[in-house]
Chains A and B, each alone.
Chain A
Amino acid sequence: MAFVKRYLIPRLISFVLVIFLGVTAVFFIPRFTPSDPVQRTIAQLQSQGSYLDPGSMDSMIEDLREMYGLEGSMLQQYGAFWRRVFTGDFGVSFFQFPTPVIELIRTSLPWTAGLLLWATLLSWTLGNLIGGLAGYFSRNRWSRALDTVAMIIRPMPYYIFALMLLILFAYVVRLFPIAGGTDIGRRAALSWAFVSDVLRHAFLPALSMVVLGTAITFQTMKLIVQNVNAEDFVQYAKLGGVKERRIVSRYVIRNAMLPQITNLALALGQILSGALITEIVFSYPGLGTLLFNAIVTGDYNLIMGITAMSILAITTAILVIDLVYPLFDPRVRLM
Chain B
Amino acid sequence: MLRTWRILAVLLALAMFLPIIGFAQLANLPRSETLILSMLTGRVGTPSNFNEWVGWKSRDRGMQNLANEPLWSVDFATGEIINGLAAGDPVYDSNFFHVEIPLREGVTWADGAPFTAEDVVFTVELLMNTPGFNNHAFFSENVELVYKIGDYRVGFDLKQANSRFHTTFLDRWGCTWIMPKHIFEGVDDPITFEFNPFVGCGPYKLHSYDPAGYWTLWEKRADWANSPTGILYGEPGPTYIVFQAFANEGAKIIAQLTHQLDAVDLSAEGLKAALAQGDTVRAYQRGFPWVVNNDPAITGFIFNNAKAPYDNVDVRWALTLAIDIVEYAGQAVDGTGALSPVHIPSLGSYPENFIKPMEDWLKAFTLDLGGGETFQPYDPDAPARVVEYARSRGYIVSDDPAAQEAAFGLGWFKYAPEAAAKLLEKNRFSQDAEGNWLLPDGTPWRIEVVSRSDTSHLEFKNASAAVQQWKQFGIDAVHVPSDAAATLTQNGDFDVAGNWPAQEPWGAGADLYRTLDAWNSAYVRPIGELTNGNHSRWSSPEMDAVLADLRATDPAAAAATIALGIEALKIAFTEMPGTPTFGYIGFLTWDEYYWTNWPGSENAYTQPYSHWGPLKYMTPFLQPTGN
Contacts and interface: CB of A to CB of B under 8 A. Distances in A.
User: Does chain A bind chain B?
Assistant: yes
Interface of A: 33-36, 39-45, 47-61, 63, 67, 93, 95-99, 104, 107-108, 111, 163, 166-167, 170-171, 174-188, 192, 196-197, 199-200, 203, 279-285, 289-290, 293, 295-296, 298
A191 B513 CA distance: 57
A170 B240 CA distance: 24
B261 to A, nearest CB: 9
A285 B172 CA distance: 30
6 contacts: A39-B530, A54-B533, A67-B131, A99-B45, A176-B22, A185-B207
B402 interface: no
Interface in B216-248: 217, 240, 242, 244-248
A196 B250 contact: no
Contacts of A187: 208
A171 B258 contact: yes
Contacts of A281: 247-248, 250-251
B101 interface: no
Contact of A285 (B54, B212, B246, B250): B212
A90 B257 CA distance: 43
Nearest to A62: B137
B260 interface: yes
A280 B249 CA distance: 10
Contact of B532 (A34, A40, A58): A58
Given A39-B490, A61-B530, A107 B212 contact: yes
Contacts of B41: 48
- 10 pairs of A and B residues whose beta carbons are closest in the complex: A49-B173, A285-B212, A43-B486, A97-B55, A59-B137, A183-B27, A54-B532, A57-B532, A174-B23, A200-B20
B46 A104 contact: yes
B134 A166 contact: no
Consensus secondary structure, chain B interface = loop
A44 B45 CA distance: 14
Contacts of B246: 178-179, 283
Contacts of A290: 45
Contacts of A200: 19-22
Contacts of A199: 20
A200 B23 CA distance: 9
B23 A45 contact: no
Contact of A98 (B142, B192, B523): B192
A203 B167 CA distance: 49
Given A51-B174, A171-B257, A176 B23 contact: yes
A34 B25 CA distance: 41
A284 B251 CA distance: 11
Contacts of B142: 53, 56
Contacts of B530: 39, 61
Contact of B55 (A59, A95, A107, A197): A95
Contacts of B491: 39
Please indicate which of the listed interface residues B24, B49, B248, B250 has the most CB atoms of chain A within 10 Å of its own CB. Answer: B248
A179 B244 contact: yes
A58 B523 CA distance: 10
Given A48-B41, A178-B260, A34 B488 contact: yes
Contact of B487 (A39, A95, A99, A197): A39
Contact of A178 (B215, B255, B523): B255
Given A39-B487, A50-B134, A166-B251, A285 B213 contact: yes
A203 B19 CA distance: 12
Interface in B8-41: 19-29, 36, 41
B21 A176 contact: yes
A67 B55 CA distance: 11
Contacts of A170: 23, 254, 258
Contacts of A108: 212
Nearest to A97: B55
A186 B27 contact: yes
Given A179-B251, A203-B20, A185 B138 contact: no
A111 B28 CA distance: 23
B182 to A, nearest CB: 23
